[in-house]
Amino acid sequence: MSSQIKTSPSRPRKARDVQQWDRETDVAIVGFGGAGGCAAIEAADAGSSVIIFEVASASGGSTAMSSAEIYMGGSGGTRVQKACGFEDQTEDMVTYMMMSAGPQADEEKIRNYCENSQGHFEWLVDIGVPFKDSFHKERGIMCLTDDGLLVTGSEKAYPFAQQAEPCPRGHNLYVEGDNGGPLFMKIVTENVDRRDAISVEYETRALTLIVDDDDAVIGLVIRADQKELNVRARKGVILCAGGFVMNEEMVAKYAPMLAAGNTPIGNPGDTGTGIMMGMSVGGAAINMHEGFISIPYYPPASMTRGIVINDQSQRFINEDVYHGRLGAFVLRQQSERIYFILTVEQYADYERVSYMGAEVAGTGESVQELEEELGLREGTLQQTIKVYNEDCNKGEDTQCHKAAEWLEPLKPPLVALDITPGRGTFLPYFTLGGLDTLPTGEVVNPQRQQVPGLYAAGRTACGVVRTAAGYSSGMSVGDATFSGRLAGKQAAQRKDA
Amino acid sequence: MSSQIKTSPSRPRKARDVQQWDRETDVAIVGFGGAGGCAAIEAADAGSSVIIFEVASASGGSTAMSSAEIYMGGSGGTRVQKACGFEDQTEDMVTYMMMSAGPQADEEKIRNYCENSQGHFEWLVDIGVPFKDSFHKERGIMCLTDDGLLVTGSEKAYPFAQQAEPCPRGHNLYVEGDNGGPLFMKIVTENVDRRDAISVEYETRALTLIVDDDDAVIGLVIRADQKELNVRARKGVILCAGGFVMNEEMVAKYAPMLAAGNTPIGNPGDTGTGIMMGMSVGGAAINMHEGFISIPYYPPASMTRGIVINDQSQRFINEDVYHGRLGAFVLRQQSERIYFILTVEQYADYERVSYMGAEVAGTGESVQELEEELGLREGTLQQTIKVYNEDCNKGEDTQCHKAAEWLEPLKPPLVALDITPGRGTFLPYFTLGGLDTLPTGEVVNPQRQQVPGLYAAGRTACGVVRTAAGYSSGMSVGDATFSGRLAGKQAAQRKDA
């Protein structure tokens, strides 16, 4: 009669209801993206047999869709950082990442990440991930050249630069164009395929976990070829099934802030099933309200010389921050319109290279004319630009603390772009909440007691990166690959259940 | 050996580990505040036997500590609303509550609340809760007179008033002073005591739920007189154990926004155990990041005529909103200081009646002098007040949309209060996340499937009120008492498990 009972990730199967084990392995991994692949390699290298179950017909996950920058540094600097002339202190990296993660920061996890980041770089190089010893100077969302290093966050911007020495930490794969993700997953997949201890089952959906009488996880139920099969995992199950950005209902319920976005970033499997499976056996899901939500306003880098205002003509953010931080602050305004004000030269740059999709809301031969055209209250935009231009001339942004290198008076004629959420501008988003884990990847319940036999990594877990306002490119793939490795190692060393 | 196993709300007990049932009842209720009391009355009146387990030595919970305003209206108006000359349309109440709850609103729950609010008023009157048919005109955080009705939210303020016809919905008990909470709980307790079907066990801690082999909730473990006892609840367990504001670790993990607050509002039992018990059996906890966090800047009502600015001299909120909404917007600023700017007359009022605790940051015989004293950039405060005063003279706040009745030019000498979070100002807070429930009070898992035998109400559940920015006084006690009643009725009509 089991076919009449709907198998759901929210309800674990009991061991006593298992008629037979259709597969047996030491470690079972759900999902073959960056986290799952790295977990498998480490578990196999520690002597375990591994099966990866992947719902798609190929490896990749969201990592393959990303630029696959990897956020690394500290301990004096990676090989690439050093070659490019940067010295990176671990404490600066810790401070930056703690500020980024906000009050919900997991300091233990962040310290572990930063202190072992150098080692993570070396491990990646060892498995064959190539990084060129060259620095990409230009401000961009991703690196379209094959340069190995770039600034990918708000390190050089207020308030971060005032508390942590800035250093570029975005490591970009040695490949032209935005092709880091596919290359990265190709390398990881080759590493997986090379290891006899790992087998991969594609087009296989993980349905639910299997628990014994003490609620320890001892396996999982999968569906392949339209059959439900029971998998025994002697050492444990590692959930690397991505986040929940593709599950509209979950996003609405848990991360309402993301309702303002218009383009979910992730693969179709990011439906939150990994997180729900973890919750079903008592795992705590934390930080579920947070996500990356961005207005990707650069390139062109010259946009950074423009200003962003609300419908009171107020600036509210230093425009040299990471684009996700600008997105987060736009959402905090009680304002019916948000504008990006540019000179015509900056607008020419924008027209040439931007993919932000914002439309022109107004133009003006003078500030006053633009103010009128935008329907802003008389005198307000004039005052904002007067103050801003004076500050530019003095080389100090007294109001929003944009760094001096970006300060250049706004001389009419001016153009205003409408970047109000919901009015056409590209607003990509993804989730940053997931299962609470120890730095080892072991899933814990709300009282931080372990759920025996269960591990999580990547976006199924809640990792080092926790806020829209503090996100930097490379933190997610950095966290996924690093946390995947730790979970793989930890599971492999567990005594068989 | 069971004494060696630590009983934890995060781990349910299995029925097979129960040696004997020490208590048997139809419905077991955890917590005797407003929600638990109302649940018990309804369950008993529907024919069930009930035991309430309360950790404190008396009933009360956080309801008794509150002002116990109750947010009610719609269907043309309650007896009090009508007597005071207000007609309240259900759709206006729905619209206001939907806006208040933000994108995470539970429309089904809100509609149910509003459509049955009139009936809830009548039920309260029936059990003996007294309301005087009089309207309290003055703007205040609570009603210190015995008047029965007042405006307790942002109904009359932008952007709410533009979309829903404003109506006062805060119903205040017929008692002088801030004594509604104790009176309310006295009446509820008398009702409970009067019913033979209900027994109450005080100084009794609920430790964990008991589940059968199908994970249905069939009872709970309690500790009384230093003994662990097993309680069989034939129809179900209703969790009415409050929120988690007193659990620092949980607040840090789930509701980091509240880290800015300095005064948790709740009773010592608000440690989240009810929510954790629900999660332990698969219940979804939602909206966990949200809470009430407020800068209670009125009374005096004349403060509403002042303006609030950040360190760029920018106004960012209409000062006629509910104090919690102001608190929420203060937290959204990237600003090192937040000031409340007042005339000396308004300041005299403030000194006389406020309990906000904000210190004077500066004074000025002119705006320019105040600007200098606060270290604001030259010209910025002058511009803000110039625009504001011009708008006041024209009777329209073009920038923040404060209602005309509060617009009065700010004439020097002026005083600035420092209301920056963390600098002494009173910043009370409590949590608004909890177990996801159907409008009936039935707890559901992340896929909205019911957890059989489990109900939740009050702050243990996630109710109609969901955001700091949209909170109104009376919504929490309103929700607790209403949701408690529904859960009590629903549990009573369940077939015995």
Q: What is the structure's pLDDT at B6?
A: 65
CB-closest option in B259, B387, B446 to A10: B446
Averaged pLDDT, B93-109:
97
Q: Residue B443 has what DSSP assignment?
A: E
| Chain A residues touching B159 at Cβ < 8 A | 334
Residue appearing with tokens 């390699």? A41
- Specify whether the CB–CB gap between A30 and A270 falls below 8 A: no
**How close, in Å, is residue B469 to chain A by CA atoms?**
11
Distances, alpha carbon B262 to alpha carbons B178, B248, B294, in Å? 22, 12, 10
Under an 8 A CB cutoff, do A400 and B312 touch?
yes
The Cα B191–Cα A143 span in angstroms is: 69
Strands A198-201 and A205-211: unpaired
Which of A10, A279, A446 lies nearest to residue B276, judging by beta carbons?
A446
Q: How far is A92 from chain B (nearest CA, A)?
A: 22
Flag whether pLDDT at B4 surpasses 90: no
Q: What is the rounded CA–CA span in Å between residue A88 and residue A81?
A: 8
Choose the closest CB to B10 out of A8, A317, A445.
A445
Give the containing element (helix H, strand E) for B286.
strand B285-286
In angstroms, what separates the C-alpha of B132 from chain A's closest C-alpha?
37
Q: Are A254 and B286 within 8 A, CB to CB?
A: yes
| The token pair that represents B140 in the structure block | 């205040």
Which alpha helices (DSSP H) does A336-397 contain, by range? 344-353, 367-374, 380-394
* Distance, CA of B186 to CA of B63 (rounded, Å): 11
pLDDT of residue A6: 66
Non-local CB neighbours of B324 within 8 Å, separated by 6+ positions: B292, B293, B294, B468, B469, B471, B472
Whether residue B334 and residue A159 make contact (CB cut-off 8 A), yes or no, is: yes
Cβ count within 10 A of residue A223: 16
Q: Kindly identify which residue of chain A lies nearest to residue B287, measuring between CA atoms.
A: A254
Angle, in degrees to the nearest 10, between helices B90-101 and B107-115: 150
- Look up the pTM and report it: 0.95
Give the gap in angstroms from C-alpha B332 to the nearest C-alpha of chain A: 6
> Residue with structure tokens 């409970």?
B192
Contact B11, B208 (CB under 8 A): yes
CB of A245 closer than 8 Å to CB of A265: yes
Give the containing element (helix H, strand E) for B372. Answer: helix B367-373
Nearest chain A residue to B397 by CA distance is A377
CA distance A164 to B100: 39
pLDDT along chain A (497 residues), means of 10: 60 95 98 98 98 97 95 98 98 98 96 98 98 94 92 97 98 95 98 98 97 95 96 98 96 93 95 96 95 95 97 98 97 96 96 92 98 97 98 98 98 98 95 97 95 98 96 97 98 88
Residue type, A117: S
User: What pLDDT does residue B67 have?
Assistant: 93
Q: What mean pLDDT comes out for the span B45-65?
A: 97
The one-letter code for the residue type at A279 is M
Mean pLDDT, range B67-88, rounded to an integer? 98
Question: What burial letters (b/e) apply to A171-181, b meaning 16+ CB within 10 Å?
Answer: bbbbbeeeebb
Domains of chain B and any CATH numbers: 2-65+181-292+428-492 (3.50.50.60), 70-177 (no CATH), 301-418 (3.90.700.10)
Compute the nearest-CA separation of B252 from chain A (Å).
6
Chain A partners within 8 Å of B259 (Cβ):
103
Region for residue B401 given its phi and psi (left: phi exceeds 0; alpha: psi -120 to 50; beta: otherwise)? left
* Average pLDDT estimate for B81-108: 97
Q: List the beta strands (DSSP E) in A301-437.
A: 307-310, 338-343, 359-364, 414-418, 428-431, 434-435
**Token pair for residue B97?**
């509550």
DSSP state at residue B256: G
> What does the pLDDT look like over A421-468, one tens digit per residue?
999 999 999 999 999 999 999 999 998 999 999 999 999 999 999 999
Dihedral in degrees, nearest 10, Cα atoms B280, B286, B288, B294: -140
The interface pTM score, or ipTM, of the predicted complex is 0.92
Give the Å distances, CA to CA, from B197 to A418, A421, B36, B232: 64, 56, 15, 16
Task: Please compute the mean of the pLDDT values over residues B296-303 and round it to a whole number.
Answer: 94
- Which residue is closest to B316 within chain A, CA to CA? A334
pLDDT in tens, B363-375: 999 999 999 999 9
Nearest chain B alpha carbon to A436: B253
Give me the pLDDT at residue A4, please.
Answer: 41
In sequence order, the 6+-apart residues with CB closer than 8 A to the CB of A167 are A73, A77, A81, A86, A87, A88, A89, A92, A93, A155
CA A382/CA A251 separation, integer angstroms: 40
Q: What angle do CA A338, A342, A347 make, to 5 degrees?
A: 115
